Structure 1
Amino acid sequence: MTLAFSPIDLVRPPRIAFGSGTLSAVREWLAARGLKRALVVADGFNAGRIELLGLEGAVEVFGEVKPEPDLPNLEALLAKAESFGPDVVIGFGGGSAMDLAKLAAVLPGSGQSLHDVVGPEKVAGKRAALIQVPTTAGTGSEAGTRALVTDPVTQNKLAVQSLHMLADLAVVDPDLTLTVPPAVTAATGVDAMAHCVEAFTSRKAHPTIDLYALEGARLVGRFLPRAIKDGSDREARAGLALASLYGGFCLGPVNTTAGHAVAYPLGTRHHIAHGAANALIFPHVLAFNAPAVPEKTAQVLAALGFPASSDPAVVLKATREWCAALGCEMRLSAYKVPADDLPIMATEAHAIRRLLDNNPRDMSREDILAIYQAAL
């Protein structure tokens, strides 16, 4: 059986509004369904501009979403959702806001706690309608069914996956990203690239997803430098928003691999933003995997404007310099990560089997430790 005939489930929000000026779809969709009690889940910046959503009726705002949301952050949101009783939850921000919005749409009133639903398809059902409105171009969370929350006790990410957390409406208006500063644009853009590349090179890679994965990588390669140079470049912003959406399409049926597993401890232990962590790790894992997937690595390099190579040293140098030229910080030491913390980080990353088992090349704990040491 060829890969083209391997079983795969393709899940998308039933409606996706994409393009400049599509934000009005939120108000129109709510009016058509008579939904009048909206809980908006946002970070501090986006909480200050919810008037852009044009909401009518009762509106409650949870504007304290953290860059790496943890269990207390989620519990504060759920308490507000319980008391307000929304008929629609709107994620308005980056991946963290959209992830928490998913959980706020399904957990209040369900009798389930976060720990009850960790893993695949354990959520009892949807309690409120869900709209996702991304304001960054990186996570693609608006298109997916997963949510990640950090447990502060274990310092591990708790992953929930459920079809009940799929958005009823996703509105991707690139104009919302025009205010994103260069450093965040760079980090989130490479995060979108990592989603696409890891899915493209995964052991679970599938032709139905390769289409989105490779085009997403090409879009990032073409438009990310432009968006960093000129944040008002609307074509570049639209290209990155599309790349992020395509990356979200990749996450459902295929998901990420070692890159994200190795990056996670940077966020959970040292509070490095998810996009920045992935940007730092991305070149190292692409280089490590190059001998196992030389043809696909060549296509990724071409998307970034580099000649083909499966030599790990060549791949690492090219992609690391590409990320650095975007303004990404490429040294763990710059984030004050101590060298004596690297072994426990390697142990934690190696335990994330749901991702590492899909990596195209087996990666041992020692391999992960070597990546951290090379990135220090």
Structure 2
Amino acid sequence: MSMKRAITLHQPTRLEIGAGTVAKVGEWAAGAQRTLVLTSGSVRSHADRLGLPGDVKLFDSIPPEPDDIALTAALEVAADFRPDCVIGLGGGSVMDIAKLVACLWDGAQSLADVVGPDKVARRLSRLAQVPTTAGTGSEAGIRALVTNSETRAKMAVESPHMRADLAVLEPELTFSLPPDVTAATGIDAMAHCVEAFTSLRAHDMIDGFARMGITLVGRYLRRAVEDGRDTEARNGMMLASYYGGICLGPVNTAAGHALAYPLGTQLHLPHGLANAIVFPHVLAFNAPVRAEKTAEIMAALGLGASSDSAKNAELAHEFCASLGIEMRLSHHGATEQALSGWAEEAHAIRRLMDNNPRDMSVADVRSIYAAAF
């Protein structure tokens, strides 16, 4: 029984959600002398809305899939600036880098020193997270992922020192997201909830957040895709993403994300898109051992649940494709020759694969890639 397992839940000290809440960032930062805003070029204009006091430095060179080289560049800027406050303004990649910069900019610890759980010694700067997408839920948690530039493997750092002092879910910051990005990041948020909900490490408390997140995706994702300025839908998706972020902490994801990572590091697909492509197939693969929960998921998304795994895959695939997501790997530059290597790479990500409710062999992984091809 999952209630027998003890869990620890970390959330931001303060959460603001709703239209207009971006103004809360400047209020929170009152008294700061030096504030470092980490962002990316596509959303850097939103920094003007934060109303920050004192000396403000903007670093907007964080790529969509940050590696250790990008982290080093951000740390060098921070070491020179010595910020009182660090603000992550952007998607999950930006917020992950912000967590690490807020803890490591003095150089006392390197990235290699802190990979894994509970190795970060302290926080150096106050930390605010302001997401501009509704997908990763990074603002809710204490984990950061960085790609090793040599091996292309994901390195995970987890520490309560990386918990945000403030998280602001401002729906208007997502208005400019194009429909395809809205759809893919929304499926990523849903995947966080679904994978935690069906995980071997599932917990009744986290199941509650997962259910709420999946229900919000079923209610609001299509509306957000069809009308990017639908404030209620954008608000609902930001909350769904936040709930997904909560799920990542004490439970985490499973095979779906393990299969998505090689598509990001090797094929350079955006993380949300990679998760969307494999989602229907992993959901169907796990359905035989999570029949009741699969039925709940399908119902929450407005789909007809089936005892036939192939039918579940078809319905979930249609759900994603109907949102405008190109679900065929072959249309994203994949080759059949690469599938076996990616399968071995995904299968080796044991920190996630070991959470999956049904054992998945290398051959199973390749079959899923082939089905998505």
TM-score range, shorter chain: over 0.9
Structure 1 partner of 2:365 = 368
Q: TM-score, normalised by structure 2?
A: 0.98
How far apart, CA to CA, are the structure 2 residues paired with 1:69 and 1:87? Answer: 23
Structure 2 partner of 1:359 = 356
Q: Does 1:270 align with 2:267?
A: yes
Q: How does 1:97-246 map to 2 (within 5 A)?
A: 97-246=94-243
How far apart, CA to CA, are the structure 2 residues paired with 1:131 and 1:148? Answer: 18
Q: How does 1:205-354 map to 2 (within 5 A)?
A: 205-354=202-351
How far apart, CA to CA, are the structure 2 residues paired with 1:79 and 1:85? Answer: 10
- SS in structure 2 of the partner of residue 66 of structure 1: coil
Q: Does 1:95 align with 2:89?
A: no
Confirm or deny: 8 A CA contact 2:46 2:173 kept in the other structure.
no
Structure 2 partner of 1:21 = 20
Letter in 2 for 1:10: L
Deviations 1:245-288 (A, max 9, x none): 11011011111010000000001111100000001111110000
More displaced stretch, 129-138 vs 19-28: 19-28
Confirm or deny: 8 A CA contact 1:17 1:171 kept in the other structure.
yes
Letter in 2 for 1:371: I
Give the deviation of 1:6 after TM superposition.
2.2
Confirm or deny: 8 A CA contact 1:110 1:127 kept in the other structure.
no
Q: Does 1:75 align with 2:84?
A: no
Give 5+ residue unaligned stretches, structure 2: none
How far apart, CA to CA, are the structure 1 residues paired with 2:2 and 2:285? Answer: 24
Give the deviation of 1:110 after TM superposition.
4.0
How far apart, CA to CA, are the structure 1 residues paired with 2:75 and 2:335? Answer: 35
Identical counterparts, % of pairs? 58
Match of 2:57 among 49, 56, 60: 60
- SS in structure 1 of the partner of residue 282 of structure 2: helix
How far apart, CA to CA, are the structure 2 residues paired with 1:213 and 1:239? Answer: 14
More displaced stretch, 109-118 vs 270-279: 109-118
- SS in structure 2 of the partner of residue 76 of structure 1: helix
How far apart, CA to CA, are the structure 2 residues paired with 1:170 and 1:372? Answer: 36
Deviations 1:6-59 (A, max 9, x none): 21111111111111111111111111xx22211101010222231111112111
Figure out how many residues of one structure are paired with residues of the other and give that number. 373
Confirm or deny: 8 A CA contact 2:184 2:273 kept in the other structure.
yes
How far apart, CA to CA, are the structure 2 residues paired with 1:308 and 1:326? Answer: 19
Deviations 1:107-139 (A, max 9, x none): 111421111111111111111111000011000
- SS in structure 1 of the partner of residue 129 of structure 2: strand
Confirm or deny: 8 A CA contact 1:41 1:92 kept in the other structure.
yes
How far apart, CA to CA, are the structure 2 residues paired with 1:309 and 1:215? Answer: 22
Confirm or deny: 8 A CA contact 2:90 2:132 kept in the other structure.
yes
How far apart, CA to CA, are the structure 1 residues paired with 2:268 and 2:113? Answer: 25
How far apart, CA to CA, are the structure 2 residues paired with 1:264 and 1:304? Answer: 25
Letter in 1 for 2:25: V
Confirm or deny: 8 A CA contact 1:297 1:310 kept in the other structure.
no
Deviations 1:324-373 (A, max 9, x none): 00011111111111211111111110111111101010111111011111
Letter in 1 for 2:196: A
More displaced stretch, 197-206 vs 18-27: 18-27
Give the deviation of 1:141 after TM superposition.
0.3
Confirm or deny: 8 A CA contact 1:342 1:372 kept in the other structure.
yes
Alpha-carbon RMSD? 0.9
How far apart, CA to CA, are the structure 2 residues paired with 1:272 and 1:18? Answer: 30
Deviations 1:61-109 (A, max 9, x none): 1101111111111111111011111011000001011001001101111
Confirm or deny: 8 A CA contact 1:196 1:213 kept in the other structure.
yes
Confirm or deny: 8 A CA contact 2:298 2:304 kept in the other structure.
yes
Give the deviation of 1:212 after TM superposition.
0.8
Letter in 1 for 2:9: L
